[in-house]
Amino acid sequence: MLIDTHTHLNDERYNNEVPEIIEDFKNYDLKKVICVGYDRPSSEKAVSLSKEYNEVYATVAIHPHDAQNATEDDYVYFKKVAKEPKVVAYGEIGLDFYYDFSPKDIQAKVFEQQLQVAYDCKLPVILHVRDAYQKSYEILKANRDLLKYSGVMHCYSGSAEMVKMYADLGLYISFSGVITFKNSNKRAVVEATPTDRLLIETDSPYLTPEPFRGKLNYPQYVKYVAEKVQEWLPHIDVVKVNAENAHRLFTKLAN
User: Quick one: which of 35, 113, 34, 125 has its CA closest to 67?
Assistant: 113
Residue 228's pLDDT is what? 98
Walk me through the domains of the chain, giving residue ranges and CATH numbers. Answer: 2-249 (3.20.20.140)
Cβ contacts of 198 within 8 Å, gap of 6 or more: 172, 173, 174, 175, 190, 229, 238, 241, 242, 245
What is the distance between the alpha carbons of residues 253 and 255, in angstroms, rounded to a whole number?
A: 6
For the chain of 255 residues, list the mean pLDDT of each consecutive stretch of 10.
97 95 98 98 98 98 97 98 98 95 97 98 98 98 98 97 98 98 94 98 98 97 98 98 98 90
Contact between residue 231 and residue 224 where contact means Cβ atoms under 8 Å apart: no
The amino acid occupying position 168 is D
Residue 86's pLDDT is what? 98
Residue 254's pLDDT is what? 83
Burial class (CB in 10 A: 0-12, 13-18, 19+), 182: exposed
What is the distance between the alpha carbons of residues 114 and 121, in angstroms, rounded to a whole number?
A: 10
